[in-house]
Amino acid sequence: MSIITGKDRAILQDLAKKQMEYANTEKNKALEEEWYLHNDLQGSRPMVTIEEGTFFHEVARPLVCETEKGRAFEGQLVRNLIGREDIDDDRATPDYFGVWRTDWFTPFGVDIEVKHASDSIGYEFVHPIKDLEEDFHKLGPSKYGYDKNPEDLELAHDIFDGIIPVMELSYAPGSSMTQSIVKLMSMETMFTSMYDYPELFHKMLEMYADDWITHNKKLEKAGFFITNNRNQNVPQGSYGQTRDLISKDGATMKDMWGYFDSQETSGVSPGMFREMYFPYYKRLMDTCGLVNYGCCEAVHHLWDSCLCKCDNLRKLSISPWCDEEMIGDRLRGTGVIYHRKPSPNLVGAAGAFDEAGFSKHIKATIKAAKGCKLEFSLRDIYSLGGEKGRGKKVVGLIKDLIELHW
């Protein structure tokens, strides 16, 4: 078991006590129930969250634990408090301390080299596939595995038992398949390979889908999955409380929220996406109980030919590049939540916050999503422009506009 100091232990226990105080409030219990109703398509109002990870340093106090594991646990607890203390969005404070089971999947067994620029966050992938036909032999069986993290679980129980329940959790199984392909061969090579070697391209994606499904079947057999239907992240700034999935340890994929996206095909026509990519995404998505789809890519042009065919799709990412009115028309009356990602530029820009411009942006969404189940997730905000309280201000403004116009 990892060692932490007595000082770290006291810090973590004090934070855990504070988290439980928030979790046990009537306000928090009401938020929890609202999430269940929202995700089960019975909610009465849009939910609003803001993901603080990208501006964590601007709102969180400095971590003070001395040990590496102590700081990791401390950061987790502090993040659970930020939603109440610094932002006051609709995140419900968890009534547990989570320890995640983890798994890994290396497509085609190829480890991708990454070169980092000096004194910069910039980096590039060293693509092993230069020409799909000539290099196809490099694509072997995928590598995969899992870890139930027993050391972290034992340590968490040792620190927190009697203060906050410790719970094992599983992440949402999912795939950004085209991101894996672009790492292998670059965006340009991916685009040209579809035309130059369509049969090989299909074979490559079929290999990926086969291996991904086999990996998750092995996880099922190992009793790895725990249904992610409680207050936990199901990617893209959203949360998974639902009664439409059955809670169990040793769950099948059909008991799980899954997450998928395909940002790298933003430059691919709807027809080409339907022919070259969607059959494999559909295979992956069909293995899950519920699906949260999309990241920053536009999805409106894929609805009629592809995404409307996904019966287990529950949340669809509506990014700043989407045609909001068109996708609002398509989602209205369906069982798919209009999961809106407002432009982060309007929140994170330096200088004074443009309240009028942001209000116009949000009112356009409220109008376009009328009759839909709506959720706002503010993400990719890398700065609050030097204004620590801006996150809370933005959330309050959205809630005021919902109250006026929804």
Domain boundaries, given as residue ranges, for the chain: 98-289
Is the pLDDT reported for residue 92 higher than 90?
yes
Pairwise CA distance, residues 314 & 291, whole Å: 6
Q: How confident is the model at residue 290 (pLDDT cuts 50, 70, 90)?
A: very high
Is the pLDDT reported for residue 1 higher than 60?
no
pLDDT digits 0-9 by tens, 39-57: 999 999 999 999 999 999 8
Helices then strands, each counted (H, E), the chain: 14, 12
- The identity of residue 277, as a single letter, is Y
Is the pLDDT reported for residue 146 higher than 70?
yes
For the segment 264-278, the average pLDDT, to the nearest whole number, is 97
Q: From residue 307, give the alpha-carbon distance in Å to each of 281, 299, 304.
A: 10, 8, 7
Better-predicted residue by pLDDT, 365 or 61: 365
Query: What residues contact residue 121 under an 8 Å CB cut-off, 6+ apart?
Result: none
pLDDT digits 0-9 by tens, 333-362: 999 999 999 999 999 988 889 999 999 999
Q: Helices marked H in 197-223 — which ranges?
A: 198-221
Question: Over the Cα atoms of the chain, what is R_g?
Answer: 22
Q: Which among 8, 22, 7 has a CA at the least distance from the CA of 82?
A: 22
Q: Is 93 within 8 Å of 58 (Cβ atoms)?
A: no
Give the containing element (helix H, strand E) for 329. helix 324-331
pLDDT digits 0-9 by tens, 298-316: 999 999 999 999 999 999 9
